Amino acid sequence: MALTNAFVLLFSCVLAISFCVWGKPATFLDDFQITWSDSHIRQIDGGKAIQLVLDQNSGCGFASKRKYLFGRVSMKIKLIPGDSAGTVTAFYMNSDTDIVRDELDFEFLGNRSGQPYTVQTNIYAHGKGDREQRVNLWFDPSADFHTYTIMWNHHHIVFYVDDVPIRVYKNNEARNIPFPKFQPMGVYSTLWEADDWATRGGLEKIDWSKAPFLAYYKDFDIEGCPVPGPASCASNTGNWWEGSTYQALKAMEARRYRWVRMNHMIYDYCTDKSRYPVIPPECIAGI
């Protein structure tokens, strides 16, 4: 069976014109490794799903075994139910470089029971971040699994929640605005305490009597150019995520995007004049 699978993978790479696009892993350990507190990450259903645990002793985290340059990454996540104030569940990509860092962030900010869950996105390009946007989710993300996706190609970066785009960052390099395209990024997730800022700017503190706090992940899906890997992959316009269908939002996606921004966005750094008296250039160029 292993020999057959290896032959199928090799044949698929040959068909892909001498580059190999990494596909969906079957289980957590196929493509990820625990990076922080292995006692707080538990495999479920033979490794097809995992449980992340936060208690007074520790949070936890995991990361992909490889880095990727362009592609699509998605996971189904079921967030902490009930009173989750002061907790942060993060799903992000990071170049893991100290100075000139590239990073694409989903951060799910815990809440007091009955309040909406807030998702914060942020983008670091060529070492510059501080591009936060916050959206209140229009459903209870702790009641069931929902799909969270990062699409990254040469044209734009799009953050999706259940196929609804909530953030778009366009490639405006022609206007001297940095765009991450040179550094491969790994896929990471963490569950940790951040009650100094996470909920209402730190006003709501974590209630340890509600611990342990549990988040669940499944259906890990990575399709992209692995690094190390064939050098031609990232620049190949034949990759499906570089196709014309994915170079801009479709009409329905654009309508959904406007709906999110009009009805559910609660913070946008582009309009925060106390932080940015001069509007950041990417906000003028269109993000």
Question: Which CATH number characterizes residue 95's domain?
Answer: 2.60.120.200
Tell me the HSE value of 225 on the side-chain side, using a 13 A CA sphere: 26
User: Strand, helix or coil at 126?
Assistant: coil
Predicted local confidence at residue 231, as pLDDT: 87
Predicted local confidence at residue 85, as pLDDT: 93
Predicted local confidence at residue 18, as pLDDT: 37
Q: Which secondary-structure segment (H or E) carries 4?
A: helix 2-15
- How far CA 94 is from CA of 160, 184, 219, 283, in Å, comes to 18, 8, 20, 23
Whether 12 is in a domain gets the answer no
pLDDT band (50, 70, 90) for residue 80: very high
Q: How many domains does the chain have?
A: 1
Least confident of 12-16, 161-165, 185-189, 225-229: 12-16
Predicted local confidence at residue 28, as pLDDT: 86
Residue 149 CA to residue 277 CA, distance in Å, equals: 32
Whether 152 is in a domain gets the answer yes
Predicted local confidence at residue 272, as pLDDT: 97
Whether 2 is in a domain gets the answer no
Whether 14 is in a domain gets the answer no
- How far CA 76 is from CA of 96, 218, 280, in Å, comes to 24, 5, 33
For 112-156, what is each residue's pLDDT tens digit?
Answer: 887 889 999 999 999 999 999 999 999 999 999 999 999 999 999
**Greatest CA span in the chain, whole angstroms?**
62
Q: Residue 78 belongs to what domain range?
A: 32-285
Predicted local confidence at residue 26, as pLDDT: 58
pLDDT band (50, 70, 90) for residue 17: very low
Whether 134 is in a domain gets the answer yes
Tell me the HSE value of 158 on the side-chain side, using a 13 A CA sphere: 24
What mean pLDDT value characterizes the chain?
90
Predicted local confidence at residue 16, as pLDDT: 40
pLDDT band (50, 70, 90) for residue 24: low
Instruction: Name the pTM for this structure.
Output: 0.91
Whether 171 is in a domain gets the answer yes
Whether 11 is in a domain gets the answer no
Task: Tell me what the mean pLDDT of segment 179-208 comes to.
Answer: 90
Residue 83 CA to residue 81 CA, distance in Å, equals: 7
Task: Tell me what the mean pLDDT of segment 44-58 comes to.
Answer: 94
For 149-184, what is each residue's pLDDT tens digit?
Answer: 999 999 999 999 999 999 999 999 999 999 999 999
Q: Read off the tokens for 33.
A: 């490794």
Predicted local confidence at residue 113, as pLDDT: 81
Whether 21 is in a domain gets the answer no
- Residues taking part in catalysis: 103, 107
